[in-house]
Structure 1
Amino acid sequence: MTCYKTLAEPIHSEIEIKKSRFIGCIEPIHSHAAGLERVAELWRQHPEARHICYAMLVAGQVRQSDDGEPSGTAARPILNVLQHKGLDYVLATVVRYFGGIKLGAGGLVRAYSQAISEPLQQVEYVEVKPQAQAQIRFEHAHEALVRRLAEQAGLALEVEYQQQVLATLQGEAEPLEQCLHQLKEQTRGELELLNTNTDVGA
């Protein structure tokens, strides 16, 4: 998994178009489940809202809802803004309070796009480098090699001495993967990969 761009913190905005209020919120999330829980929380906060439309991206995978608005007039414009900005691990929601005047399909597309695009003009972005962890086992003779390659890759290393050496490597996912590849080559396969875990602390 490569690095991705998301928001440093949630950001909100509110616009009014023909007496309808559109409350936009964009925030970082770590899973679709967390995003859905946030949408449920918004309903608890805005029980009188007519619609709460959203789009979320997690590892490039999309979940979205027009929540009763005409198909393609709410979630798709929201998603288009997120994708245009190159964002991931992010949830964008728009709470709509209906003002009594219908906007038409084109008006809805513009309103939902604006509710998300305006706050993103002044937001602080962060680039996240996914973390990973791996546990390996090897002969004592390879310990110096493991320590050297782990240090070169900028990885944290914890070692436990048994009949063989049990080591845990942790750090950025890409350098960790490269380090494991080098270790397998340079130990000629005399290294056992016990388990790996990606997105540790990401």
Structure 2
Amino acid sequence: MSKDYPVPSGYLERETEVKKSRFIARVCPVGSRDEVRERVAEAHRDYPDARHVCWGYQIGRPGSAAEAAMNDDGEPSGTAGKPILNVIQHKDMGDVLVIVVRYFGGIKLGAGGLVRAYAGAAESVLSEVGRVVQQTRVQAHVELDFADEQPLRHWCDGHEGAVESIEYGAQVRALVSVPEARQHELSAFCESQKLDYRFET
């Protein structure tokens, strides 16, 4: 999928303690609701005896996310998922899930204390996770002879391109993706090699 906004560069986990309660925050890059479900199920498996596994996520461009949701997992309504999601929304990051696992330490925190604790846990992990910006990419269908495949792959290696798929028939059909900014360079290469190509619109 094409992206030109910051997304988390990978997983990160951080633990904080508030009045003997342990809060374990985990950030994951996600691209779909199914992936969110898988990651939440994974957290339940990793921490099977935790009292609460709360989460918030947004998918898509920050500020106009295609999808966002949250879950308090048994904490009083609005004291866990909402503060996690609020922190995510202030971080200018898309395709991000934050899960906060809580082990109750015997001292009640009250609604305000819970909001602060969950927001703090989300902040601790989001302020440390790396960010990557994946540029918007365009795809081209290229028809070529067998002899042209290696030069095409070589060109892609030097120009941030990728051969997404390849089919062998009477001719070789390749699906190539490049950053949008290099679209004209791919056109010039194909024309210089006399290759048939068309960009997906």
Distance 1:92 1:125 in 2: 14
Task: Indicate the residue corresponding to 1:34 in structure 2.
Answer: 35
The code of the aligned residue for 1:80 comes to: N
Task: Indicate the residue corresponding to 2:90 in structure 1.
Answer: 84
The code of the aligned residue for 1:10 comes to: Y
Counting only pairs closer than 5 Å after superposition, residues 75-114 of structure 1 correspond to structure 2 as 75-114=81-120
Task: Indicate the residue corresponding to 1:133 in structure 2.
Answer: 139
Q: 2:3–2:133: 8 Å Cα contact kept in structure 1?
A: no
Task: Indicate the residue corresponding to 2:126 in structure 1.
Answer: 120
Distance 2:120 2:40 in 1: 20
Q: 2:98–2:122: 8 Å Cα contact kept in structure 1?
A: yes
Aligned-pair CA distance for 1:169: 4.4
Call closer, same or farther: CA 1:12–1:133 in 2, change over 3 Å: same
The code of the aligned residue for 2:12 comes to: I
Aligned-pair CA distance for 1:38: 1.1
Deviations 1:49-73 (A, max 9, x none): 1110011121122132111112211
Q: 1:55–1:93: 8 Å Cα contact kept in structure 2?
A: yes
SS class of match (2:24): strand
Does residue 178 of structure 2 align to residue 171 of structure 1? yes
Task: Indicate the residue corresponding to 2:53 in structure 1.
Answer: 52
Task: Indicate the residue corresponding to 2:22 in structure 1.
Answer: 21
Deviations 1:141-187 (A, max 9, x none): xxxxxxxxxx9x976689x998xxx7744222x448x86xx9xxxxx
Q: TM-score, normalised by structure 2?
A: 0.69
Task: Indicate the residue corresponding to 1:12 in structure 2.
Answer: 13
Aligned-pair CA distance for 1:12: 1.1
Distance 2:162 2:117 in 1: 48
Does residue 73 of structure 2 align to residue 67 of structure 1? yes
The code of the aligned residue for 1:8 comes to: S
Gaps of 5+ in 2: 144-155, 188-195
Aligned-pair CA distance for 1:94: 0.2
SS class of match (1:67): coil
Aligned-pair CA distance for 1:36: 1.2
Q: RMSD of the alignment, in Å? A: 3.5
Deviates more, 1:68-77 or 1:26-35: 26-35
Aligned-pair CA distance for 1:136: 7.6
Distance 2:97 2:161 in 1: 31
SS class of match (1:78): helix
Call closer, same or farther: CA 1:41–1:70 in 2, change over 3 Å: same
Q: 1:32–1:63: 8 Å Cα contact kept in structure 2?
A: no
SS class of match (2:177): strand
Distance 1:36 1:131 in 2: 27
The code of the aligned residue for 1:49 comes to: A
